Amino acid sequence: MPDTRTPPDPAEFPAADSLPAQATFLLRYAILAPSSHNSQPWAFAVADGSILVYADESRRLDVADPDGRELLLSVGCAVENLVLAARRFGLDPTVEYGPFEESPPSPGPDLRHVATVGLAATASVDEGAGETALFDAIGARRTNHQPFDDRPVPGSVLETFREYATASGLGLELVTDPARRAEIATLQTRADERQFDDPAYRTELGHWIGTGALGASWLTARVGQLAVSHLDIGEREGRKNSKLVTSAPVVAVLTVATVDEPSLLAAGRLFERLSLAATGEGLAVHPMSQILELDDLRTELAGLLGLGDETPVHLFRLGYAEPDSTRTPRRPVDDVLL
């Protein structure tokens, strides 16, 4: 099994080679992106000086994510890694969203073309805007499921987060008030209890655990799958996750004015940018999606945060924590290149 989790050595970028060879190299960074249940719902093709990005609907979480919100966020994360890698190697990437349908060389309706990353050569490597630091964090970034320390996140980091959100035209709520976080923790408990009450939700989660996507060895993965599929663990999960929320000094919520495909891709890109910035600062990040997977609880969260017309589309904990040793695998580039 090739080690697809370790990023390539930047010194090995095939600068003198053809675009397809360069694109294949860049994609080794794209696939290190986070994705819900590590579903890696992406595929790519190289054509006419561009990388075409596809959303793989066959990998959508039909129960947890029937609308494909998390799927597009995940693809957006991969796009951001691709853009950062392209800039790092002296290319000048442009991103265009759409056409949001099957288009060549897609082999069928499950693969929808959602973005095109144009790759033009520029004279020099872009060292600006701290982007090299973001690129350097791609290999080290991990989701951290541990309780977080009781240590505040520096205001300068939160300021950088706000600047990134403003630059991408999206909303970002950074909840630090303990009373507010406790209210979100209560929503988290209710969400977990409801989700784990649903046999279809448990079976879907069990399926992804069983594939080893969430980073366990084969045997542990099977035991985990059985436990999730058959035991009533909603209450336990609810209590555990509620404590995780209250342990975090910051609960961050990404919001959009209109929930459509371009804004979800953009939100994914922003989330990955924030995750990489956090990684570079030694901070831990942990998305928690259950509240947003239930329409009524998502509406309650929006009310709690006073979001008005904005819709929350992604929620994650931010803080300091012991490293999480979980190492989630990746599908090799060959498997996701059309």
Ligand X SMILES: Cc1cc2nc3c(=O)[nH]c(=O)nc-3n(C[C@H](O)[C@H](O)[C@H](O)COP(=O)(O)O)c2cc1C
Contact residues: ligand X, CB under 6 A: 34-38, 70, 73-74, 77, 142-143, 145, 214, 287-290, 328
Contact 227, 50 (CB under 8 A): no
In whole angstroms, the minimum distance from the beta carbon of 18 to ligand X comes to 30
C-beta of 59 vs 142, nearer to ligand X: 142
Q: Closest approach of Cβ 14 to ligand X, in Å?
A: 26
- The distance of closest approach from Cβ of residue 170 to ligand X in the complex, given in angstroms and rounded to an integer, is 14
- In the complex, the smallest distance separating the C-beta of residue 328 from ligand X, rounded to whole angstroms, is 4
Instruction: Report the residue number, 160 or 195, with the smaller CB distance to ligand X.
Output: 195
Closer CB to ligand X, 26 or 33, in the complex: 33
Smaller CB separation from ligand X, 84 or 91: 84
Q: How far is the CB of 56 from ligand X (least distance, A)?
A: 14
Closest to ligand X by CB, 32 vs 153, is 32
**Cα separation, 121 vs 280, whole angstroms:** 27
Residue with smallest beta-carbon separation from ligand X: 34
| Least distance (Å) between residue 35 CB and ligand X | 5
Q: Environment class of residue 167 by beta-carbon count within 10 Å: exposed (0-12), middle (13-18) or buried (19+)? A: exposed
**In the complex, least distance from residue 7 CB atom to ligand X, rounded to whole angstroms:** 12
Q: Decide whether 77 or 85 has the Cβ nearer to ligand X.
A: 77
Cβ closest to ligand X, residue 143 vs residue 229: 143
Question: Residue 324 contacts by C-beta under 8 Å, 6 or more apart in sequence?
Answer: 142, 143, 144, 145, 146, 284
